[in-house]
Structure 1
Amino acid sequence: MTLNDFYAFAASHHSQVVFYFALVPFAALLAGFMERREGHLPPWNYLYSAMLYLVAIPAVFSVGLTAYRWLFERSSIMEADLVLQIVPVISLILTVLFIRRQVSLRALPGFGRLSGLVLLIAAGLILLWGIDRTRIILFSQLPMQYLVAVFLLLLIVLRYGFKRVVG
């Protein structure tokens, strides 16, 4: 199964996608009612962390795929599949809001690495987009100090993101 096959399969089963992305925030809300001030202790912190990862990974994938399609394939925003591109992000936002009311996100295992992963993916996309847009010929027309400044800035962002992922 290719990535295109998976995307086509998900696009043809919108009801299951919406059900999944509605179930996780609902479970976070329900878990918040079930536990009382114990969200930072096991097993609640692992449950909250798992719920965050269940929606964050697809949401990051959705945002990355959307950015790729708009920046590199130059597809129109009017061709966007709202269920596959917007619903995961809304589900992530709701899940984070429900969980943050119960426990500090810093108390959850692995959550700092997730934000580092998002930063690393964003920096990689920016780097690739910059290379795609500038073409190799334009590098010779840029003043050297701008080229070095852009390279150092991207290197710092990538290193910071990598440190957050590795720990």
Structure 2
Amino acid sequence: MTLSQLFQSISENPWPITIYFLALPVIAWVVGQVANGSRDVKFWSYIYAILVYAVCIPGVFAVTLNIYLFLFERQSIWQADIVLQFLPVISMAITLMLIKSKIPFTVIPGFGKISGFLTLIAALIGVMWFFDRIHLVAFTYVPFSVILIGFVLTLIAIRFAWSKLF
């Protein structure tokens, strides 16, 4: 099964995935209400970690897919699939806001891994977009190791900026 076939199958029957993405913020809110006043922070941090991963993995995939489709494939916004391209991002944003209002992200196990992964994806897409736009063909005597060091420094700069942003 290709990604196109999977998306076509979901588009033909969107209700299961729609219910999934609508249920995640509701579950986050319910967990927040149940955990309110509880002293067992470790237990609730694991529950929130499950919710974070359940919403962030498809949400990050949808963000990456949207960036790819809009920047590289030149897809029109009018052709976007609401269930597959926007609902995961909206659900992720709402769920993360609800979770952050109850517990700091530093307490949630593995949350730093998601932000690091998102930083890496953003850096790779940015570099790919840059090279796609400039259509650069250069014959140079710059060793590949210097280019690799420049890329690593770019990742470090993006990671630093990301940590200062949030």
The verdict on a shared fold, with TM-score over 0.5 as the criterion, is yes
Decide whether the 8 Å contact of 1:70 with 1:76 is kept in 2.
Answer: yes
8 Å CA contact 1:120–1:157 kept in 2: the answer is: no
The answer as to 2:157 corresponding to 1:156 is: no
1:14-163 paired onto structure 2 within 5 Å: 14-38=14-38, 41-137=41-137, 139=138, 152=150, 154-159=151-156
Identity %: 34
CA 90–8 in structure 1, closer or farther in 2 if over 3 Å, else same: same
Aligned-residue CA RMSD in angstroms? 2.7
Partner of 1:9: 9
* Residue 4 of structure 1, CA deviation: 1.6
Q: Which segments of 5 or more consecutive residues in structure 2 lack a partner in the other structure?
A: none
Ranges in structure 1 where 5+ consecutive residues have no aligned partner: none
1:135 is displaced (CA, Å) by 1.8
Shift in Å at residue 160 of structure 1? Answer: 6.2
Letter in 2 for 1:20: Y
Instruction: State the distance in 1 between where 2:158 and 2:120 align.
Output: 5
Q: How much has 1:38 moved relative to structure 2? A: 3.8
The 10-residue stretch of structure 1 (112-121 or 69-78) with the greater mean CA deviation from structure 2: 69-78
Question: Per-residue displacement from partner, 1:13-35 (whole Å, max 9, x unpaired)?
Answer: 22222100011111111111111
Residues 31-71 of structure 1 deviation map (CA, whole Å, 9 limit, x = unaligned)? 11111344772321111011011111111111111111111
How many residues were matched structurally?
155
Deviation (angstroms), 1:121: 0.4
Q: Give, in angstroms, the shift of residue 101 of structure 1.
A: 1.6
Runs of 4+ in 1 over 3 A off after TM superposition: 37-40, 159-164
Q: In 2, are the aligned partners of 1:37 and 1:102 still within 8 Å (CA)?
A: no
Q: State the secondary structure of the residue aligned to 1:136.
A: coil
Q: Residue deviations 1:57-113, cap 9 Å, x none?
A: 111111111111111111211111112111111111111111112111111000011
Amino acid of the structure 1 residue aligned with 2:60: V
